[in-house]
Amino acid sequence: MDYQDYLRYRSDILDWISLRLKNSRYTHTLGVEQTAVTLARKFGQDPNLASLAALLHDNAKNLDLDEQFAICKKAYPKKFSLTMDYASILHAFAGAEEARKRYPDLPLDVFEAIRYHTTGRPGMSDLEKIIYCADFIEPNREPFEGLDEARKQVFSNLDDGLCYILRHTTAYINGKGKKLYPLTAKAMKYYKIVEESTNTKKK
């Protein structure tokens, strides 16, 4: 993709998501873009693809849950784990499909980065890791325990940062008594992360 194509995509995506997202989600999205572009430059990846994937990553977040579920059911009929039990991850899978329908000529890696930005998965590409990490550490996040450490880890080594965030997210989900999405459990295993028990999540 040349720079003019990139600018055309970016402008169209901004128009599209500004209609779909609440203000706070739009602000978050711009923060993810800024962080993703910085990470892409630092780790030798294409900053323009990182920018587009970041802008698109939460495009389905403010759709009704029923609509997110309906999109997932149609797009991934064999993925039985996509249920209301995991409502918070539906927007990632639905968003990848919505982005693919609207921008079919973008590279597959962009859609994968959208699809796996909440769950992670084994064997993530560098772009997937960048979006996953940028989503967690973007500058507009309200401060929470572990955020500064996550930023430090991600900027020193993308894999270390990814593992830190996977571990943090898993401890958070366990702490809430919720079920861990199977793909996240597989990612934990793949990246050889020992799951923290709920009572060790606060240090």
Which among 115, 89, 102 has a CA at the least distance from the CA of 15? 102
Q: Pick the piece of the chain touching Fe ion (CB under 5 A) from 16-24, 129-137, 142-150, 179-187.
A: 129-137
Q: Pick the piece of the chain touching Fe ion (CB under 5 A) from 50-58, 63-71, 170-178, 188-196.
A: 50-58
Q: Pick the piece of the chain touching Fe ion (CB under 5 A) from 43-51, 131-139, 148-156, 167-175.
A: 131-139
The residue count for binding Fe ion (CB under 5 A) is 2
Q: How far is the CB of 4 from Fe ion (least distance, A)?
A: 28
Q: How far is the CB of 17 from Fe ion (least distance, A)?
A: 11
Q: How far is the CB of 117 from Fe ion (least distance, A)?
A: 6
Give the nearer residue to Fe ion in terms of CB position, either 8 or 102.
102
Residue type, 121: R
Query: Are the C-beta atoms of residues 137 and 154 closer than 8 Å to each other?
Result: yes
> ∠7-11-14 over CA atoms, to 5°?
135
Conformation bin of residue 76: beta by default, left when phi > 0, alpha when psi is -120 to 50: beta
Residue type, 25: R
Q: Is 25 exposed, middle or buried (0-12, 13-18, 19+ CB in 10 A)?
A: middle
Query: Are the C-beta atoms of residues 54 and 32 closer than 8 Å to each other?
Result: yes
Give the nearer residue to Fe ion in terms of CB position, either 46 or 135.
135
Of residues 164-193, those binding Fe ion (CB under 5 A): none
Give the nearer residue to Fe ion in terms of CB position, either 58 or 126.
58
Q: How far is the CB of 165 from Fe ion (least distance, A)?
A: 12
Q: How far is the CB of 192 from Fe ion (least distance, A)?
A: 25
Query: Are the C-beta atoms of residues 96 and 122 closer than 8 Å to each other?
Result: no
Q: Pick the piece of the chain touching Fe ion (CB under 5 A) from 96-104, 130-138, 159-167, 171-179.
A: 130-138
Does 135 interact with Fe ion (rule: CB under 5 A)?
yes
Give the nearer residue to Fe ion in terms of CB position, either 46 or 58.
58
Q: What count of Cα atoms within 13 Å lies in the side-chain half-sphere of residue 71?
A: 24
Angle between helical axes of 158-175 and 182-190 (0-180°, round to 10): 140
Return the residue of 33, 58, 98, 128 that touches Fe ion, per CB under 5 A: 58
- Footprint of Fe ion on this chain (CB under 5 A)? 58, 135
